[in-house]
Amino acid sequence: MGHRRSTWVRYLLLTTAALVFAFPFYFMVVGAFQQAPTNSPESLVPTSGWTLGNFAAIDARIDLVRSLVNSLIFTVGVLLGTVVFGLLAGYAMARLDFRGRGATWVLMLLVQMVPFQLLMIPLYVQITRGFGLGDTYLGMIAPFAINTTAVFIFTQFFRALPQEMFEAARVDGAGELRILTSIAAPLVRPALVTVVLVTFIGPWNEFLWPFLITKDASLQPMAVSLANYISNVAQSTANPNGAILAGATALAFPVVILFVLFQRYFTASDLGTAVKG
């Protein structure tokens, strides 16, 4: 009886926590599609009808499709750089013995302690004046192409793989790149999915750096376009709160979809199965 009661209490607490966590998303979606302004407790229940007018008001002022394409180019470019360089650097830090590896590891950890905002101005000068990459996709992508957090995650997962597996592959004549791509990388799929999800959220929601790099509206990602819309235009619409929440919904929807699709991969893999006997 006592065990059943504790189980019900646990489920009740978890359900309450889930509802509290989900409430802002509910409020955002209801406000985005509701006709009347969501500025009172009664408006939390959608009784005034549903509408796409809030999204149409955004699309009338900014090109949502073009902004979405820009965000995808920016985010996919950052993801490619993060995964490729993260895998290479993580494998080298975990499994290769080279001079200065310890110092490189310490330096990487120190870089993680420096907020990006402190580096933004010197990076801006270097990217725009040194490399001439202002108003370009490459200028937006370059500072985020190497992610020390991704390197750290991959390094820790590669260190957890059995050493015998690497030794057996080298005895069979496999090179380091072949070991990485054919043996090690497939075994760290949970780390790969984690890095993709964590990295995706950063550039997708980033608006300060793209705003600095490009003043061309045709190149600005969705976060920048929506930030400009919310700060300059939304208050002049018939439903200001609805316009703001519609912009937040448009920005958050791809992230939610990506998490739903890949959350099942957040499971621990049996790394020991790679070794026979």
Give per-residue pLDDT as tens, 200-256.
888 888 888 888 888 888 888 988 888 877 777 666 677 777 777 888 888 888 778
In the prediction, which pLDDT does 277 show? 41
Mean pLDDT for the stretch of residues 1-6: 68
Residue 269 has pLDDT above 60, yes or no: no
Rounded distance between C-alpha atoms, residue 183 and residue 170, angstroms: 11
How far apart CA 256 and CA 249 sit, in angstroms, is 10
CA-CA distances (angstroms) from residue 245 to 28, 177, 203, 254, 259?
A: 5, 47, 20, 15, 20
Ordered domains of the chain (ranges, CATH): 2-43 (no CATH), 65-221+251-276 (1.10.3720.10)
Q: How confident is the model at residue 130 (pLDDT cuts 50, 70, 90)?
A: confident
Residue 47 has a pLDDT of: 58
Mean pLDDT of the chain: 81
CA–CA distance, 75 with 175 (Å, rounded to integer): 32
Share of the chain above pLDDT 70, in %: 86
Cβ pair 186, 220 in contact under 8 A: no
Instruction: Tell me the pLDDT band of 48, cut-offs 50, 70 and 90.
Output: low
How much is the pLDDT for 75? 92
58 contacts 250 by C-beta, under 8 angstroms: yes
Report pTM: 0.78
The pLDDT score that the predictor gives to residue 139 is 92
Question: Which residues make Cβ contacts (< 8 Å) with residue 268, sequence separation at least 6?
Answer: 190
Question: For residues 61 and 38, is the Cβ–Cβ distance under 8 A?
Answer: no
Per-residue model confidence (pLDDT) at position 77? 94
Phi-psi category of residue 49: left, alpha or beta, with phi > 0 → left and psi -120 to 50 → alpha: left
pLDDT digits (tens, 9 = 90+) for 82-98: 999 999 999 999 888 88
Contact 239, 51 (CB under 8 A): no
Q: In degrees rounded to 5, what are phi and psi of residue 195?
A: -65, -40
Closest to 248 measured CA to CA, from 39, 2, 26 = 26
Burial group, residue 23, by CB count within 10 angstroms (0-12, 13-18, 19+)? exposed
